[in-house]
Amino acid sequence: MIEYTIKRIFAAIPVLFGILLLTFLLLNVIPGDPARAVAGPRADEQTLARIRSEMELDKPLMTRFFSYSGKILKGDFGNSIVTGRPIMTSFKEKFPVTLKLAVMAALISAVLGVAMGIISAVNKGGFIDKLSTVMTVTGISVPIFLAAIVISYVFTVKIPIFASADTTDFSGLLPFILPAATLGMRSAAFLARIVRSGMIEVLNNDYIRTAKAKGLRKSRILFSHALTNALIPIITVIALDFSSYLNGSVIVETIFTLPGIGSFAMNAISQRDYPVIQATILCGAFIFIFINLLTDLIYAWLNPQIRDEMSGKVSK
């Protein structure tokens, strides 16, 4: 297991390097003068000169890339152009908000998705199954911004049960319920479909029939026999969705005015704050790699067969 873990970590290094290079190029290949793009059309020569030296535009591309990578490795993402604050400081403030949102969304989607999937699988072909299919197809198809607008409208204007008195306090759970539900809705729908088909497949197996013949209780069969076998696809969906929450949080945090990484990125985009945009993209990619690594390790831990197969592949 340790050998496998080390192999997986080493396999991620070239990808991390590529991500760093691409994010760097994205800002540095802007057609025209990057300093002009950063400063805006009305900036005077003095400002441009200052930005040029700040961005080290007078140095060759390779030198700049290495100094940029070196800083990132030390945890320095540079400063925001608009506020001048170190981006890392803002990240430290905003990350917990997004993490809380993502964890709650994952919890909501896991509970809802697994429950709906099991209920559908058990009642396969029945009314509840059909209703749940309609709900899941809709859940996957409705754009997240539309869901966010409608949910925030209904629950803060029409039925204001979640409208909190203090709109600046984000320490509790209340301000996160609606956005997390919005963010988790899509993955809940997706998960419900995966759980349903996984469970139906497992429920057809001989050992389930044996368990039934032994007279085991239905709930025991469902949870200890069937669900454990459908676990791997479930973990995949939850993990993949968890890293996609950064995408969703750009929209959801903006609409529900949560001060997390997503709204930080969106603000930066509207103000053309390139270093911040660069840093948030980089941060998202790193999170994705990290979660993928974690998922692979969980797989291996759950199923030694996969572990052997994968270490074979990696060492090839």
Give the residues lining the site for other proteins (CB under 8 A). Answer: 14-15, 18-19, 22, 26, 29-31, 137-138, 140-146, 149-150, 153, 157, 193, 196-197, 200-201, 243-244, 246-247, 250-251, 265-266, 269-270, 272, 277, 280-281, 284-285, 288-289, 292
- Determine contact, residues 27/51, Cβ cutoff 8 Å: no
Decide: helix, strand or coil at residue 267.
Answer: helix
| Minimum distance, C-beta of residue 156 to other proteins, in the bound complex (Å) | 11
CA 110, 115, 121, 124 torsion: positive or negative? Answer: negative
Q: How far apart are CA 71 and CA 311, in angstroms?
A: 33
Which CB atom, from 281 or from 302, has the smaller least distance to other proteins? 281
Please report how close the Cβ of residue 120 comes to other proteins at its closest, in angstroms: 11
Residue 250 CB, shortest distance to other proteins, in Å, is 6
Cβ(99)–Cβ(258) below 8 Å: no
Q: Which is nearer to other proteins, 16 or 216 (CB)?
A: 16
Nearer to other proteins among residue 180 and residue 283 (C-beta): 283
Minimum distance of other proteins from residue 194's CB (angstroms): 10
Of residues 135 and 216, the one with the C-beta less far from other proteins: 135
Among candidate residues 151, 153, 210, the one with its CA nearest the CA of residue 184:
151
218-226 own/partner pairs: CB under 8 Å, 24+ apart: 222/118, 222/122, 226/199, 226/202
> Closest separation between CB of residue 6 and other proteins, Å?
18
User: Rounded to an integer, what distance in angstroms lies between the CA atom of residue 222 and that of residue 153?
Assistant: 39
**Residue with smaller CB distance to other proteins, 187 or 280:** 280
